[in-house]
Every structure is written in C-alpha cells, then in structure tokens.
Amino acid sequence: MHIIVKRVALRFTSPTLRSLCTSRLSVKRSFSTMSEHFCEQVVFNKPKVELHVHLDGAIRVQTIIDVAKRRGISLPANSVKEMTQAIIVEKPATLTEFLGKFAEYMHVVAGDREAIKRIAYEFVEDKAKEGVIYVEVRYSPHFLANTSVDPIPWNQTEGNLTPDDVVHLVNQGLSEGEKAFNIKARSILCCMRHMPSWSMDVVELCKKYRNEGVVAIDLAGDESLNCEAYPGHRKAYEEAVRCGIHRTVHAGEVGPPSVVKEAVEVLKAERVGHGYRTLEDQTLYKQLLAQNMHFEVCPISSKLTGACNPDFTKHPVITFRKDKANYSLNTDDPLIFNSNLHLDYSTAQKYMGFTEDEFKRLNICSAKSSFLPEEEKKELLHKLYEAYEMMQRTAF
C-alpha cells in the first residue's frame, strides 16, 4: 500500500483493513469488527505464508489506546470502536486521506521502546491466529525512531531511540512471539523513496542484523521518485547485492511498468511488491513469468488504495492465477483496512475464482520465494506439504 509519500519522513507505512467483503462488495455497510466478519469467512483453514505486511500498518487499536494513556498523549477517540472508525479506510481514498490516517496514531508508538517491542510481539500472535506459520513483516526503522534520523518523523521532539534501537526492539518482540506462538517471523527493512539519504543506513542495518531475524531490504513510497533522480537507493541496493542481502521493491502498484522494470533490472529485486501494472507491458510481464518472478499481491489493499479496479472480478491477480504465475496473497496494512488475511482469501475465492488447490499452490510458491536460508526453507516447505497432504505429489 505504500504508494504514498512524496514528502518528508512523515507518514507511510502499514495498514489496517476494513472488512469490505461481506455478503456483497458494499462499502456502505455499518461498522462491524474483524472477528464478526472472519468467523464466517475462513475459506482456507490450513497453514499459510505471508510475505507483504507492514508492521506499522498492523498495530492493534487497543495497543494504541494503551500506549497513548501511558504516555499522556491525547487521541481523537478513547474507545476501540471509535478509534477504529477514526483510523480505518472504508472506500478507495485519496493520498491526503491516507496520510491523515497514519497521523492519527504513529506519533503514539514512535520513539517508545516498550510500545515498539509490544507491537512486534502482538503482531506475531495475531498472525498465528490467522493460521500463518511463516511471515515476513516489513517496516521503516527511521519512521519509528526519534534520534539519529533527519528529519525526526511525526512531529516528535528528539529523544534517544535510534533506528538501530528500533531494529533491536522489533527483533526482540518477534523472537519472543515466535517462542510463545510457535510460528516463524522474520523482518524486512524499508527504504523510503522520498528519503534516499536513509537508504545506506537501512542496508547497513540489514547487514548488522542479518543473523538476528532481518532477511531483506525493501523500497517503498512514491513510485514517481525513480532511482535516476534519487541515486541513493541504487547505491544501497548495489551494496545489498554485494553483501548477499535479499531484495524486494514496491513497484507497479500505481506506478507504470517502467518502475517494475527498474526494480528488476537496476535494483536487482528478487520479488516485486504488488506489481499489478506489469500487465500493461506484456513483453515485461512475459519476461518476469519466464524468470519466475514473485509478485506480492494484496487484494483488499489494492482496492482501498485505488491501485486496482474496485471490481474484484477484474483484479490483475486473476491473470496471475490463470497464468500460473509465482505470487502470494497478503494483507499489506490490515489496521487501516480493518482486515486480516482471511478476508483477502475469502475475497479471492468469492470474486476471483480461487480454489483450495490454488491456495495451496500459491502458499507453496510463497514459501519457495521466501527469504529464508535454504535449509529453513526446506523445513517450511515440508510443513506445508504435510499439512496439505501433498507428500507424494509435489508437482507445484
């Protein structure tokens, strides 16, 4: 969903999805909670892999309220229901509306050690409840820091939490969550297109923490800011290639196919975040199909960000499915969309022709395209094959 920021380190990151897909595509239905929707919409009750979700877009509303109370920060609402309504997006929104949603809560958790560790831990618990057995969660360390970052985001006063501290805290929260909820969680550190001066910091943090849970680097933000005009990103990705750091890039979400081409050819991306607009360049699309390039697809997000036609029956992932492309299904920013992974799956089944066999296939593809070391990847695949009763037929 990070199609967004052209401006200084303020907003962009992750999301909270609304349950738009009830009995119809209506977005005018009165407010209801995620649990009310998802208890009746679990269409694939088997282990899953998620590769594209933003930590700062997957925070519990109750946690925002708790942290704000502890820190003495005022909020626009004090109950979970009212605060949820203040944060969520219920229909395709403008850039300004999205930025305003992040501003409602990011200043609450940014710069606070206890909060950052807590949101990482709770994130793992929430994913375990969705049946996810492996997740790669991404975030910008600079957006959660309040010192050693210029400019300091979210109108914070300078404190003592550096981007390095942020990564350490997130690693701790994810690790403790793994032990408590018996799933595997790894992280991806985001560069921001509008802040190329941060990108070398990001790749250095990837190198420092590569043995403590950080598996890749990402580039997110306004796709109109290309690497020719902002060479800091290219230099960071060149260093990532040199050091064997895995690479994904947000591209082709709302930007043209040329952004995808740049991601793959210049930044040497191994996966593409979203990538829907690739279909507008059939030569490029066929090239990426031949390369088995992985597309990180986020169905609900793509509607609410305006990235795709709001009619789910015309979604690009239908073409991916028909072409047996390599892709995953993901939530992106479930907080702002008031959603979870079950909604993306039920939407795919109801409007896009997905079957249980296709859900199995895409999760196998997701595991194969994960940024885990080979031995851990083999273990993950074995778990999926076993759960899917595919031990004797692994043709996917």
Question: 257-265 and 282-290 are packed helices; what angle lies between their axes, rounded to 10 degrees?
Answer: 40
Ramachandran angles phi, psi of 79, nearest 5°: -100, 155
Q: Cβ(118)–Cβ(62) under 8 Å?
A: no
Which are the contacts of 176, defined by CB distance < 8 A and separation ≥ 6? 121
Residue 253 is among the residues annotated as catalytic for this protein: yes
SS3 of residue 119 by DSSP: helix
Query: What are the Cα distances from residue 384, in Å, to 20, 61, 131?
Result: 29, 32, 12
387 CA to centre of own chain = 25
> How many residues belong to the chain?
396
Query: What are the Cα distances from residue 198, in Å, to 148, 188, 273?
Result: 10, 15, 20
Distance CA 338, CA 142 (A): 25
Distance CA 45, CA 162 (A): 40
Q: Cβ(356)–Cβ(387) under 8 Å?
A: no
- Number of Cα atoms under 13 Å in the Cβ half of residue 354: 28
Kind plus residue range of the DSSP H or E element containing 160? none
Q: Name the CA radius of gyration of the chain, rounded.
A: 19
Handedness of CA 331, 318, 283, 371 (dihedral sign): positive
184 CA to centre of own chain = 16
Catalytic pick among 104, 130, 223, 253: 253
* Catalytically annotated residues: 253
